[in-house]
């Protein structure tokens, strides 16, 4: 049985915390063999976030499908084994500070002559060059410099952050995209290359028309709370039984259906709301009208009316809601894995996206520290 579309690809993962490991997780999900090189003390991710008896509850997921090899790259012997791994690999994924791999003699220029098809993916705060290349850069810094934090929150309050490591995870996805593109190009030419991912650049790439809005349109986008300027209605409304539901009806045809669902067909032709532009100018008024309707009904009634009229909606989900949701269940989007040292199977997101012919797989939870060191040493010629 296939492990996924990347079956047969070997990835060596160096580094930790968070972009590199998440990129490695995704490549492993798609079937690649991922050998994770850890220092003697292990990746700090093993002790990150909510812990159970000293073990991270995230580790079984972010390190799933990986093999753990402990190497002390300060020693010549272990650097030689690391080089052997790289020479035998398709992809090397690293998120050390720029220049660190070169200090160990493990940079692309040093290894590629012995593996001309090698793809080396660098993930760092500011990329491999430029005046800030060697500065420390975390996902939060990337969100600030990438323009995202200026857009998150309310205009009269300081910028806020999402409750996840968004900057790191965006960069990880670009690292995976770059890896897949480089593998495709290698299929044509037989040659590898380096892929350079900067965290701040990855965040910046998602900022839509932020720059032309400012430079050409004279509009500086800023924090607007739970809405987007000119996009209405698209907001969260609370039902009489306390459930928060997001209703997205900003397109003209959908807005007209919302008016029917509310029993207020006259609002579809009201000059304040009849067009997309008009609704944008009168968004607060429209939100008040919708809230006054939603607030008189329970969640089940609101959802039924919206569904009957084809209006997109979704509850603001908690973890309990996700675990109970029939759509998640139907799509098998929750995987539970037994992992050593945990009291029960660990729930985690399944593989995204879904492939019809070569589905990705979750083959094992995150490994114990050094679980595969001896086997990998034997395989790659570094017998103890």
Boundary (domain end) residue, out of 317, 344, 372 = 317
384 pLDDT higher than 60: no
Residues 119 and 263 in one domain: no
Report the pLDDT averaged over residues 178-190. Answer: 99
Predicted local distance difference test score (pLDDT) of residue 383: 55
Domain co-membership, 85 together with 189:
yes
Q: Are residues 179 and 313 in the same domain?
A: no
User: Do 92 and 119 fall within a single domain?
Assistant: yes
**Same domain, residue pair 80 and 188:** yes
Query: Which residues, including other chains, have CB under 8 Å from residue 159's CB and lie 6 or more apart?
Result: 144, 149, 150, 152, 153, 223
Whether residue 4 lies inside any domain: the answer is no
Nearest-angstrom CA–CA distance, 152 and 373:
44
* Domain membership of residue 74 as a residue range: 10-206+330-381
Task: Evaluate whether 107 touches 81 at the Cβ level (below 8 Å).
Answer: no
The better pLDDT of the pair 117, 3 is held by 117
How confident is residue 176, by pLDDT bands cut at 50, 70 and 90? Answer: very high
Percent of the chain at pLDDT > 70 equals 99
On whether both 193 and 267 belong to a single domain, the answer is: no
Whether the model pTM is above 0.85: yes
* Contacts of residue 204, Cβ cutoff 8 Å, sequence gap at least 6: 145, 146, 147
Categorize the per-residue pLDDT at 382 as very low, low, confident or very high, splitting at 50, 70 and 90: low
Residue 35's domain is classified under what CATH number? 3.40.50.10540
Predicted confidence (pLDDT) per residue in 305-362, tens digit: 999 999 999 999 999 999 999 999 999 999 999 999 999 999 999 999 999 999 999 9
Which residues, including other chains, have CB under 8 Å from residue 311's CB and lie 6 or more apart? 247, 249, 254, 257, 258, 261
Mean pLDDT (whole number) for 87-110:
98
Q: Is 168 a catalytic site residue?
A: yes
DSSP letter at 159 equals -
214 part of a folded domain: no
Residue with tokens 């292990």: 42
**Average per-residue pLDDT for the chain:** 97
Whichever domain contains 295, its CATH number is: 3.30.1540.10
Catalytic residue among 135, 168, 196, 307: 168
Radius of gyration over alpha carbons of the chain, in Å?
A: 25
Rounded to 5°, the CA angle 115-120-125 comes to: 160
Same domain, 15 and 41: yes
Q: Are residues 70 and 183 in the same domain?
A: yes
Domain count, the chain: 2
Same structural domain for residues 302 and 336? no
Mean pLDDT in residue range 364-370: 98
121-139 average pLDDT score: 96
With a CB cutoff of 8 Å and minimum separation 6, the contacts of 73 are 37, 39, 79, 82, 104, 106
pLDDT digits (tens, 9 = 90+) for 260-313: 999 999 999 999 999 999 999 999 999 999 999 999 999 999 999 999 999 999
């Amino acid at each position: 049985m296939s492990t996924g579309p990347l079956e047969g690809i070997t990835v060596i993962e160096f580094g930790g915390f968070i972009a590199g490991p998440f990129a490695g997780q995704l490549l492993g999900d798609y079937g690649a063999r991922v050998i994770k090189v850890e220092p003697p003390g292990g990746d700090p991710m093993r002790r990150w976030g909510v812990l159970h008896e000293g073990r991270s509850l995230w580790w079984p997921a972010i390190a799933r499908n990986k093999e753990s090899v402990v190497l002390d790259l300060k020693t010549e012997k272990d650097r030689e084994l690391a080089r052997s791994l790289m020479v035998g690999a398709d992809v090397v994924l690293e998120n050390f500070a720029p220049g660190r791999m070169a200090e160990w003699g493990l940079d692309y220029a040093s290894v590629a002559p012995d593996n001309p098809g090698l793809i080396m993916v660098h993930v760092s705060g500011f990329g491999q060059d430029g005046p800030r290349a060697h500065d420390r850069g975390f996902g939060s810094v990337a969100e600030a410099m990438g323009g995202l934090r200026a857009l998150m929150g309310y205009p009269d309050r300081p910028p806020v952050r999402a409750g996840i490591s968004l900057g790191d995870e965006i960069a990880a996805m670009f690292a995976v995209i770059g890896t897949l593109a480089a593998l495709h190009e290698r299929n044509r030419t037989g040659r590898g290359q380096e892929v350079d991912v900067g965290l701040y650049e990855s965040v910046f790439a998602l900022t839509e028309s932020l720059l032309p809005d400012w430079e050409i349109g004279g509009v500086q986008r800023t924090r607007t709370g739970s809405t987007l300027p000119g996009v209405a209605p698209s907001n969260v409304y609370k039902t009489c039984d306390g459930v928060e539901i997001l209703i997205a009806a900003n397109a003209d045809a959908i807005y007209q259906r919302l008016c029917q669902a509310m029993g207020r067909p006259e609002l579809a032709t009201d000059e304040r709301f009849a067009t997309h532009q008009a609704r944008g100018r009168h968004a607060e008024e429209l939100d008040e009208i919708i809230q006054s309707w939603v607030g008189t009904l329970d969640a089940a009634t609101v959802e039924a009316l919206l569904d009957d009229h084809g209006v997109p909606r979704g509850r603001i989900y908690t973890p309990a809601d996700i675990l109970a949701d029939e759509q998640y269940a139907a799509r098998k989007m929750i995987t539970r894995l037994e992992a050593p040292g945990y009291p029960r199977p660990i729930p985690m997101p399944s593989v995204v996206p879904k492939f019809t012919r070569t589905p990705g797989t979750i083959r094992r939870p995150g490994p114990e520290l050094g679980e595969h060191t001896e086997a990998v040493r034997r395989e790659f010629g570094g017998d103890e």
